């Protein structure tokens, strides 16, 4: 049987398993196991070798440590302090609380790296306050849903850690590359809120500005937590520590700060550890299954054939990138961002390199595309997370509320495509 038919049958089987409701990691693992035995005639012991090869990584060790650090941050009540502090500084702007949510997500992302955690946290903290102050539900939900995606892009990003390990790309360079696009995307979102409220002032009643003494007191309350971000990111960018070593330092410092605030409890530590174990185990299984499936596709020659076919279309550099962007926008509606990345990297990466783009740049650009998938129906994770916390709103209502911000995110993707140095300038400067 030709590689094309084998690939079509395997992908068809994978989609059928997903349609039956099977988890993405298990579906990829079963498909890869069948392909391993039937298509490439390899022993099943290859599964053990692949698991060891793909997960025995010092780089990946940063993932559970950063997750633990973010969980301690959330469990200690520091997010409430962060929200209150930014409200003192930005709450007076048009659409102030929506701006606060977006800015707070950017800071929260520098500690947690999890979009779902951000969406759940700010649905509980921010939405009741916005509702109490008379904000339009669409503005509130849109800012929470799309603001949460900043937590994926702003370093430390879990997706960038996995991408760096998978492609043997420096995670420190990836974190540096994400810094400017993350800051620019946050500013574009804040500008979007400002324009929306200027056009329709009734959707966001204006708040009275806080006094300077209140603002500086709020900063003082948050200073120990902000110090963790500065120390962790500074040690990475300054070349003093690897991301894994910095994540261990951040986890210890988070425990120390929680103890300083008298919020360090046995239950909070256990819950944070369990959160780190569960998320890491889920991602690790997806990494193993995707690596095994990638091995099958490479062995039958499907990877090279598909990459060659895409390049053979002669669409030009930007035409090919348009096709890739459309592909990921469609896949993002149905696949988890981590699984989508690992499932497609072996096909897409040769095309990206052939077009002359840097793998560091592609890591950041992919994260932007993955962010869009988090808020697009029918399977956007942020939509389900917010709907779970606020069940009175439907998935489609939350998705429609996110549309103005989605347009900004797609614009940001094209800004990066046309101006890749926005992502590459800082890594070149630092390293």
Residue 390 lies in a domain: yes
Tell me the percentage of the chain whose pLDDT exceeds 70: 96
Flag whether 363 is in a domain. Answer: yes
Is there a domain that residue 190 lies in? yes
* 300 touches 9 (CB < 8 A): no
From the number of C-beta atoms within 10 Å of its C-beta (0-12, 13-18, 19+), residue 306 rates as: buried
pLDDT digits (tens, 9 = 90+) for 314-357: 778 888 888 888 888 888 777 777 778 887 888 888 888 888 88
Q: What is the predicted pLDDT for the residue at 385?
A: 81
| Residue 9 is assigned to a structural domain of this protein | no
Residue 1 has pLDDT above 70, yes or no: no
Check whether the bond before 378 is cis (ω within 30° of 0): yes
Average pLDDT over residues 128-156: 83
Least confident interval from 50-64, 100-114, 119-133, 271-285: 100-114
pLDDT category at 46 given cuts 50, 70, 90 is confident
* 267 found inside a domain: yes
pLDDT at 242 (0 to 100): 87
Predicted confidence at residue 113, as pLDDT, reads 63
> Which residues touch 46 (CB under 8 Å, ≥6 apart)?
36, 292, 295
**In terms of residue numbers, what domain contains 188?**
30-430
Within 10 angstroms of residue 52's Cβ, the number of other Cβ atoms is 10
Per the listing, tokens 């990494």 go with 287
Distance, in Å, from the CA atom of 105 to the CA atom of 127, rounded to the nearest integer, reads: 14
Q: Is the pLDDT of residue 40 over 90?
A: no
Residues 6+ apart with CB under 8 A from 165: 57, 59, 60, 171
pTM of the model: 0.84
Q: Cα 263–264–268 angle (5° rounding)?
A: 100
The answer to whether residue 6 is domain-embedded is no
Per-residue pLDDT, 209: 77
Averaged pLDDT, 169-186: 90
Mean residue pLDDT of the chain comes to 83
Residue 300 vs residue 166, higher pLDDT? 166
Residue 130 to residue 141: CA distance in whole angstroms? 10
Task: Determine, yes or no, domain membership for 10.
Answer: no
Report the pLDDT averaged over residues 51-68.
82
According to the 3-state scheme, what is the secondary structure of the chain?
CCHHHHHHHHHHHHHHHHHCCCCHHHHHHHHHHHHHHHHCCCCCHHHHHHHHHHHCCCCCCHHHHHHHHHHHHHHCCHHHHHHHHHHHHHCCCCCHHHHHHHHHHHHHHCCCCCHHHHHHHHHHHHHHHHHHCCCCHHHHHHHHHHHCCHHHHCCCCHHHHHHHHHHCCCHHHHHHHHHHHHHHHHHHHHHHHHHHHHHCHHHCCCCCCCCHHHHHHHHHHHHHHHHHHHHHHHHHHCCCCCHHHHHHHHHHHHHHHHHHCCCCCHHHHHHHHHHHHHHHHHHHHHHHHHHHHHHHHHHHCHHHHHHHHHHCCCCHHHHHHHHHHHHHHHHCCCCCHHHHHHHHHHHHHHHHHHCCCCHHHHHHHHHHHHHHHCCCCCCCHHHHHHHHHCCCCCHHHHHHHHHHHHHHHHHHHHHHHHCCHHHHHHHHHHC
pLDDT band at 112 (very low <50, low <70, confident <90, very high): low
Domain assignment of residue 22, yes or no: no
- 143 pLDDT above the threshold of 80: yes
pLDDT at 386 over 80: yes
Name the domain count of the chain: 1
pLDDT in tens, 250-299: 889 888 888 887 888 888 889 888 888 888 888 888 888 888 887 787 77
* Predicted pLDDT of residue 422: 92
* pLDDT at residue 3 tops 90: no
Read off the pLDDT of each residue in 387-407 and give the average, rounded to a whole number.
86
């Amino acid at each position: 049987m030709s590689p094309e038919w084998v690939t079509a049958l395997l992908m068809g089987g994978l989609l059928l398993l997903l349609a039956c409701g099977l988890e993405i990691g298990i579906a990829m693992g079963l498909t890869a196991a069948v392909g391993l035995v039937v298509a490439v005639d390899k022993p099943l012991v290859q599964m053990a070798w692949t698991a060891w090869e793909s997960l025995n990584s010092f780089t990946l060790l940063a993932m559970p440590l950063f997750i633990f650090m973010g969980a301690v941050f959330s469990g200690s009540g520091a997010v409430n302090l962060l929200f209150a502090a930014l409200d003192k500084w930005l709450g007076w702007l048009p659409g102030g609380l929506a701006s606060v949510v977006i800015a707070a997500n950017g800071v929260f992302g520098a500690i947690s790296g999890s979009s779902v955690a951000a969406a759940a946290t700010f649905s509980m903290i921010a939405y009741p306050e916005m509702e109490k102050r008379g904000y339009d539900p669409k503005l509130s939900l849109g800012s929470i849903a799309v603001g949460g995606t900043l937590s994926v892009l702003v370093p430390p990003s879990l997706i960038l850690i996995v991408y760096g390990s998978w492609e043997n790309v420096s995670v420190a360079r990836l974190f540096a590359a994400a810094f400017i696009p993350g800051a620019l995307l946050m500013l574009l979102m804040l500008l979007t809120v400002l324009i929306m409220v200027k056009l329709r002032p009734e959707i966001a009643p204006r708040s009275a500005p806080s006094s300077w003494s209140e603002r500086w007191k709020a900063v003082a309350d948050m200073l120990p937590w902000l110090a963790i971000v500065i120390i962790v990111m500074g040690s990475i960018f300054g070349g003093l520590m690897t991301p894994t070593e910095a994540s261990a330092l951040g986890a210890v410092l988070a425990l120390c700060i929680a103890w300083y605030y008298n919020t360090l409890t046995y239950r909070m530590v256990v819950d944070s550890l369990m959160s780190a174990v569960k998320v890491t185990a889920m991602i690790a299984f997806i990494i193993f299954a995707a690596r095994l499936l990638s091995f099958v596709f490479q062995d039958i020659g499907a990877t090279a054939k598909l990459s060659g076919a895409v390049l053979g279309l002669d669409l030009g550099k930007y035409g090919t990138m348009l096709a890739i962007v459309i592909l990921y926008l469609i896949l993002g509606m149905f696949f988890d961002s981590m699984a989508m990345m690992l499932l497609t990297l072996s096909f897409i990466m040769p095309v990206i390199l052939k077009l002359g783009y840097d793998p560091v740049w592609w890591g950041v650009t992919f994260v932007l595309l993955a962010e869009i998938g988090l808020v697009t129906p029918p399977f956007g994770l942020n939509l389900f997370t917010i709907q779970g916390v606020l069940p009175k709103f439907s998935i489609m209502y939350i998705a429609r509320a996110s549309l103005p911000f989605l347009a900004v995110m797609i614009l940001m993707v094209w800004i990066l495509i046309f101006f890749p140095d926005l992502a590459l300038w800082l890594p070149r400067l630092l390293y």
